[in-house]
Amino acid sequence: MPKPPFGPRPDRRPGPAPAGRKRPSHRPEQVAPDRTTPDVAPDGLPQVSLVRRGVERWQAGHPWIYRADLNGDPALEGGEVVRVVDGRGWFLGKAFYSKQSKISLRWLSYEDVPVDVDFFRQRLALADAMRQRALPGETTYRVVHGEADLLPGLVVDRYGDCVSVQFLIPGTEQRKAMFVELLTELYKPRAIVNRSDVGVRALEGLPQEKGVLTGSLPGPVAYDEGLVRVRADLLEGQKTGSFLDQRENHVMASQYAFGEALDCFSYVGGFALQLATRAKSVTAVEISDVAAAQLRANAAANKLSNVDVVVANAFDYLRDALDEGKRFDTIVLDPPSFAKNKDAIAGALRGYKEINLRAIQLLRPGGYLISASCTYHIDEQGFEDMLASAAADAKRRVQIVEKRGAGKDHPVLLNLRETRYLKCFVLRVL
C-alpha cells in the first residue's frame, strides 16, 4: 500500500545536492529560465518545475498546482504523468498535467515510484478497502471520490453489479481503457457506464460524453436504503444516476419524520420515500417531470401510498403554501448547488435563506427541518449563519440536533476544502 502522502519522509531526492539536505523552500528559490521544451527525467517522464509559491503549496499539502506556479509553459499536450521538481531540480512528486485548465498539476504521488497500471490498481484497492470497512456488506457506494482518494479527476460509483464512472481531466480521460480493465478486474460488473457528461470537462477542453463502456445495462438499477428500495437510471439519471452522497442522510431522515411531511427538490425520492415510512403523508416537490415520474414509480414499488408528488418550482410552492396557511411537521430541503463560482455566493445565500425561512415558518412547534446544501463555495459556518438569520427573521427558536456531511464513502481531504462540500443540518423548530 502506498504510504500516506504527507507524512514525514526521508530525503531521497536524486540530484547533485548532498544527502541530508533540508527541504528547499526556506531558501531563496533558484528560478530556472523559461523553457518551452520540458526536461526529460531519467525515468522517461517529462519534467516540470515549480516556482517557489508552487513549492509552498506542495508543502502545505494542497493537491493542485496552478499554471502561474509553473516555471515556464511546458510543451506538453495534456494528460501526461509528469515528474515535478523545484527550481533546483529536487524531486517533489508525480502529477497529471493539464494543458487547458488553470489547474495545471494534480498530484498523484509524493514518492518516486512508477505510475503504471499497478499503481492505479493499488489506488483503486486502497479506495475500495475503506468502503468495505466503513460500510460492511454494502455494494452501492462511491468507490473513488477524486482527489480525496488520491485519484484526481476520477469519480467511480458502484451500484451493485453496475459501475458508473466520470473522467474529468485529460489524465483520466486518456486512461479510460485502463480504468475499465481495472474496474472489471475488481468488480466483474455487468456494465460500466461513462457519465462524463459534465460541464467541468469544458475547463479541460474535453467534450461531454455518455454511454456504456462495457457490458450491457438492461434498465434502471435497484439498491436498498434502509427499508426502501430505490431504482436509479445510470444512463439518463442526474449525476452518475443518483445522489449517493446523501444515502446516509436519507436513512437518518426516516428517524425524525412524523406527521405531515414535505420534501422539496425530491429528485427520484431519496428523502421522500424515507419520510413516507414514518410520516402520515408526504408531499414531494420536484421541478423535473422525468424525476417526478420516477419518484411515483419508486413510491409504488415500495407500496408507499402516502406520497403525493407535485411537479413545481419549490420556491413558488413554499411561498404559496405559506399564503394558503399550510403547516407541516417535517420538512426536507435538498436543493441543487446555487453557486457554481465565488461571485455567485451572495445570491446563493439569499436563495438558501428564502427557502429555509419559509420552511421554518411552515413548521408546527416541535417540527423538524432537515436542510442541506451542496454548494462548496459556502462552508458549514456560512450555512449555519444563514440558518441563524432565517430563524431570527422567522422569530422562531431553533435547535441544532445534528450537523452532518456526505456519507463515509465521500471522504473529505484535509487541505482540500472543496471535498467538504455537503452540509446537512437537522434542526428542530420550537
Contact 336, 265 (CB under 8 A): yes
For 145, residues 6+ apart whose C-beta sits below 8 A from its C-beta are 127, 155, 409, 410, 411, 419
Q: Is 248 in the site for ligand SAH (CB under 6 A)?
A: no
Contact 373, 352 (CB under 8 A): yes
Q: Which is nearer to ligand SAH, 233 or 334 (CB)?
A: 334
DSSP secondary structure code for residue 70 in this structure: B
In terms of C-beta density within 10 A (0-12 exposed, 13-18 middle, 19 or more buried), how is residue 243 classed? buried
Phi, psi (deg, nearest 5) at residue 280: -70, -50
- Output the smallest distance, CB 228 to ligand SAH, in A: 12
Q: Which is nearer to ligand SAH, 253 or 413 (CB)?
A: 253
The set of catalytic residues is 374
- Region from 10-18, 30-38, 328-336, 384-392 binding ligand SAH, contact rule CB under 6 A: 328-336
Cell 498539476: give the residue.
105
DSSP secondary structure code for residue 3 in this structure: P
- Binders of ligand SAH among residues 265 to 304 (CB under 6 A) are 265-267, 270-271, 285-288, 291
Q: Which is nearer to ligand SAH, 185 or 316 (CB)?
A: 316
Q: Is 409 in the site for ligand SAH (CB under 6 A)?
A: no
Residue nearest to ligand SAH (CB): 270
Q: Is 415 in the site for ligand SAH (CB under 6 A)?
A: no
Q: Is 246 in the site for ligand SAH (CB under 6 A)?
A: yes
Q: Which is nearer to ligand SAH, 64 or 267 (CB)?
A: 267
Spatial distance between the Cα atoms of 245 and 239, rounded to a whole number of angstroms: 11
Q: Is 334 in the site for ligand SAH (CB under 6 A)?
A: yes
Spatial distance between the Cα atoms of 5 and 91, rounded to a whole number of angstroms: 14
Contact 146, 209 (CB under 8 A): no
For 117, residues 6+ apart whose C-beta sits below 8 A from its C-beta are 178, 181, 182
- Output the smallest distance, CB 319 to ligand SAH, in A: 12
Q: Which of 168, 314, 339, 406: binder of ligand SAH (CB under 6 A)?
A: 314
Binding to ligand SAH by CB under 6 A, coded x per residue (else -) over 193-232, reads ----------------------------------------
Spatial distance between the Cα atoms of 225 and 191, rounded to a whole number of angstroms: 22
The footprint of ligand SAH (CB under 6 A) covers: 238, 243, 246, 265-267, 270-271, 285-288, 291, 313-315, 334-336
